[in-house]
């Protein structure tokens, strides 16, 4: 099942999907935010729930982003990281050996969808010592359509958390890092949105148009 913008299950090797119109996307975001503020627990996020993280640096993308956990593989966040690096993988699809694997150790990797399954990407990041992986859609104009990440047919497992991120969000994070010449962002994850007044929720403005 997809979330908020509708969607379907996928193992990660297909092309990204597009969401609905901007007005509908804004309405869905507001409705889901209200639901999460009322019902999401502070800890122990389960399958089918949203997970939030905030970019602390660079400052021009200091927003709270929404991600969704993999459906049937990967671990959960039992620890809150007040400051941890979000490191774009090189190569972005992370289907094999990484050129910057040393920087991903004990940090969180930002990976791009495509080339191999979601599970394969998660295992690559795990093998490089990453604490978690955030897999952004490879459709850069996707600002509302969440893919449900599922197991592939290999019966392999992964222990670290794996999250799906909208393609537009992933693109904007990577673009900001490139503009500033930075090798990683600093994030806080997971963020408990129940402790933040709705009017203070700094969500990415590009998802509202």
Per-residue pLDDT tens over the stretch 71-129: 999 999 999 999 999 999 999 999 999 999 999 999 999 999 999 999 999 999 999 99
pTM: 0.80
Determine the Cα–Cα distance for residues 118 and 143; give it in Å rounded to an integer: 19
Can you say whether the dihedral through the CA atoms of 109, 163, 138, 65 is positive or negative? negative
Quick check: 10 and 4 in contact, CB under 8 A?
Answer: no
Is the pLDDT score of 167 beyond 90? Answer: yes
Band of residue 197 on the pLDDT scale cut at 50, 70, 90: confident
Q: Average per-residue pLDDT in the chain?
A: 84
- Confirm or reject CATH 1.10.10.10 for domain 55-200, answering yes or no: no
Is the pLDDT score of 165 beyond 90? Answer: yes
Is the pLDDT score of 44 beyond 70? Answer: no
Percent pLDDT > 90 in the chain is 67
Domain boundaries of the chain, sorted by first residue: 55-200
Is the pLDDT score of 27 beyond 70? Answer: no
Quick check: 200 and 18 in contact, CB under 8 A?
Answer: no
| Burial status of residue 31 (CB atoms within 10 A of its CB: 0-12, 13-18, 19 or more) | exposed
Is the pLDDT score of 64 beyond 60? Answer: yes
Band of residue 178 on the pLDDT scale cut at 50, 70, 90: very high
Is the pLDDT score of 28 beyond 90? Answer: no
What was the pLDDT predicted at 200?
78
Quick check: 85 and 108 in contact, CB under 8 A?
Answer: yes
Burial code (b: 16+ CB inside 10 Å, e: under 16) for 130-153 equals bbbbbbbbbbbebbbbbbbbbbee
């Amino acid at each position: 099942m997809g979330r908020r913008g509708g969607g379907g299950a996928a193992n990660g090797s297909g092309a990204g999907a597009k969401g609905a119109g901007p007005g509908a996307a804004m309405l869905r975001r507001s409705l889901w935010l209200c639901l999460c503020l009322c019902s999401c627990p502070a800890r122990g996020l389960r399958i089918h729930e949203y997970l939030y993280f905030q970019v602390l640096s660079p400052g021009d993308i200091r927003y709270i982003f929404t991600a969704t956990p993999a459906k049937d593989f990967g671990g959960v966040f039992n620890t809150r990281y007040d400051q941890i690096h979000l490191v774009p993988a090189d190569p972005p699809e992370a289907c094999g050996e990484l050129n910057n694997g040393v920087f991903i150790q004990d940090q969180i990797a930002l990976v791009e969808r495509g080339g191999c399954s979601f599970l394969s990407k998660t295992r690559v990041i795990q093998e490089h010592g990453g604490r978690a992986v955030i897999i952004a859609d490879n459709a850069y104009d996707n600002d509302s359509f969440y893919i449900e990440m599922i197991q592939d047919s290999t019966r392999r497992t992964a222990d670290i958390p794996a999250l799906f991120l909208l393609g537009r969000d992933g693109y904007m994070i990577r673009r900001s890092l490139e503009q500033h010449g930075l090798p990683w962002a600093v994030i806080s994850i997971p963020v408990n949105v129940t402790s933040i007044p709705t009017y203070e929720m700094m969500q990415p403005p590009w998802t509202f148009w």
